[in-house]
A and B are shown apart, each in its own frame.
Chain A
Amino acid sequence: MAEAKLQETPTEAMIARQSMPQGGWAQAAREDALARLRTMGLPQRRDEYWKFTRPDTLTQAEPLPAAVFDHGDAPLFDDTERLRIVFVDGAFDAEASDDLSLEGVSIERLATATTDLHWARDLYGTLEKAGQSPVVRPLAALNTAFATDGVLIHVTGKPSKPINLVYQHKSETSDAMLHHVVKLDAGAEVTLLENGPAAARFNTVMEVDVADTARFHHVRAQGRDHERRAATHVFTRLGTESLFKSFTVTVNGAMTRNECVIELTGDDASAHVAGACVGDGDFHHDDTVFITHDAVNCESRQVFKKVLRNGATGVFQGKILVKEGAQKTDGYQISQSLLLDGDSQFLAKPELEIYADDVACSHGSTSGAIDEEALFYLRARGVSHAEATDLLTLAFLAEAVEEIEAEGLREEITGRLSAWLERRSA
């Protein structure tokens, strides 16, 4: 028995490797999260919520190294006027970042916000904690406890340009943990962009509190380093007549688990979450979404599209929970994969749980190969097999990309996807 005692659990091994930033307004929330984490323990292979995705590489104390990949392209969002905040392997890079002042918003860094920001203290770890039920998300609790930095964004108006979190990856062994909190006041509107591979292993949590009639737009491009691993969580709470729109594009990456937990708490609110991913070879991509309707006449929409080949794996777990009294709910969920060969696989678990009697919810999940009839039609008009495949692949992804509201961003993402596909098939 003495031997068993010496055996450290993976959770304790992970905790032992971290050091909690001391003092300051977030301390209590961090301690609370650590206690939560200890109670639930890190995810294990046998956990139902991790049935399709092996958590090992995300939960082991030492991250696996990931080679830095130089794609040689111009940075994404370069065509968009924006405020850049740069993190290199999780460490803030002041030189590369823009000045953080922008009208209609106040931006501070988690690591340096020493004065007690009441709104941030109230929010930090709060939505994450609420999102731990009915399903636990231990990697998010880990993040709340130990995140080394992040941004605290308080949106009071309508800033003139998007805020862009740029995540650069320069060290092969980096293990980064960032925690962002975003609060939108009533009527405020902001666009948050995230892009870059960030680190060999990257764990992020973003908590977004969207007040009545506020609008939050989120466009994220997960960096293209082939070996990177990432676990991300977005937690949001939506007030009356508010809007939340989140889109993620993922190309490459050995392991990605993106969780999005949405709670519609005010009437007439709308939440859209979408993802387009392109996986080739050693690629595992998991979108896990949990949307709770707890108000009247709200709309939610999930659109996930995955293109997989050479043994890539795509996972989708999406749940719509309609609580008692959440009448006139309009819930839509679609997850589809385009399997470009017989070696790739798509695992989907769509779920609806409805306790109100006047709702319209639909969900669908499909897996399929490229449409041979359409392929022949294009080729008969002179388009090469490769180009026709790309065109149909891009068309398949389009429904997800169309969830991006800003036309310029939509076009930029489409352009990138098109260029990536073209290069890959060249």
Chain B
Amino acid sequence: MLSIKNLHVKLEEEDKQILKGVDLEVEAGKVHAIMGPNGSGKSTLSYVLSGKDGYEVTDGSATLEGEDLLDLEPEERAAAGLFLAFQYPVEIPGVGNMTFLRTAVNAQRKARGEEEMSAADFLKVIRAKAKDLKIDADMLKRPVNMGFSGGEKKRNEILQMAMLEPKMCILDETDSGLDVDAMKLVAEGVNALRTEGRGFLVITHYQRLLDHIKPDVVHIMSDGRIIKTGGPELALEVENNGYADILAEVA
């Protein structure tokens, strides 16, 4: 599904290498987790994959089902089936959440040569999905993420994911700023989307999210590289011993 090979990335503004050769394969139907200390390059990886400005790929490749992602505009990557749940969802005054979602759904459909969703159909679908995530009508009407609590913002991300039905979902620190109840709700939303055809890359600093979204594979990232890969037990090791042991082990 998602294939990253020897990815090297530096910041455009300053001559600073962030990713120093990342190799990663996420298969359809699998949940991969990336853990790592702050500053290891986890979020950079998510931004580079989704096409944010400010990063320069100096070597390597990233493909989604064989299609070169790095050559595409952010909206083309989205239409190709890539989704990033933001660590910090952006507030957009003046744009209604519902309008935003409908515009996004139809833009992707159009880009894929599919028919646009009618207003009535859209309303029916979004109401059902919003209900599962305990997102009320008021949150749908309000401007995108404006005045949303941390938990509401993250639930709104998952709602977008549910509406857009991407092939490959990247969740960037989705647990940050969430209490246990909110995290459970978000995790349920994610788990409901786990299907055979869909891949997940869950970026997290802490293990606790992985209690709720059970990963198939866990990677440890440090200093721009994946330094260790293992099963779910690797996350527990981090939880119990911190990153220091693993870093020392591979050093």
Contact = CB atoms under 8 A, between A and B. Distances in A.
A414 B164 CA distance: 26
A374 B90 CA distance: 6
B111 interface: yes
Interface string A387-422: 110011011101100000000000000000000000
Chain A facing B: main interface SS = helix
A398 B75 CA distance: 25
A201 to B, nearest CB: 35
A376 B74 contact: yes
Given A376-B74, A392-B92, A382 B79 contact: yes
B104 A383 contact: yes
B156 to A, nearest CB: 11
A29 interface: no
B147 interface: no
A380 B50 contact: yes
B95 A391 contact: yes
Contacts of B143: 395
B107 A387 contact: yes
Nearest to B99: A391
A376 B52 contact: yes
B209 interface: no
A379 B92 CA distance: 13
Which of B73, B91, B99, B103 has the most CB atoms of chain A within a 10 A radius of its CB?
A: B103
B64 interface: no
A61 B53 CA distance: 53
A380 B74 contact: yes
Contacts of B164: 381-382
A379 B75 contact: yes
A215 to B, nearest CB: 27
A398 B94 contact: yes
A119 interface: no
Give the interface residue-count category, chain A: 20 to 34
B51 A392 contact: no
Interface string B78-117: 1100001010011111110001100111011001000000
Most central of A383, A391, A398, A399 by chain B CB within 10 Å: A383
Interface residues of B, number: 31
A395 B93 contact: yes
A382 B107 contact: yes
Contacts of B92: 371, 374, 377-378, 392, 395
A382 B78 contact: yes
Nearest to A397: B94
A264 B93 CA distance: 32
B78 A380 contact: yes
Interface in A331-384: 371-374, 376-384
B217 to A, nearest CB: 25
B84 A380 contact: yes
Contacts of B108: 381-382
A395 B91 CA distance: 12
Contact of B103 (A373, A387, A398): A387
A385 interface: yes
B160 A373 contact: no
Contacts of B99: 391
Contacts of B90: 371, 373-374, 376-377
A372 B99 CA distance: 19
B75 A382 contact: yes
A383 B79 CA distance: 9
28 contacts: A371-B92, A373-B90, A374-B91, A376-B90, A377-B89, A378-B92, A378-B100, A378-B104, A379-B78, A380-B51, A380-B74, A380-B86, A381-B107, A382-B104, A382-B108, A382-B111, A382-B164, A384-B107, A385-B75, A387-B103, A388-B75, A391-B100, A391-B103, A392-B92, A394-B94, A395-B94, A395-B95, A395-B143
Interface of A: 371-374, 376-385, 387-388, 391-392, 394-396, 398-399
Which 5 pairs between the two chains have the least Cβ-Cβ distance? A395-B94, A382-B78, A382-B108, A381-B104, A379-B74
Given A388-B75, A395-B94, 18 more contacts: A379-B73, A379-B74, A380-B52, A380-B78, A380-B86, A382-B79, A382-B104, A382-B107, A382-B108, A382-B111, A382-B164, A383-B107, A391-B95, A391-B99, A391-B100, A392-B92, A395-B92, A398-B94
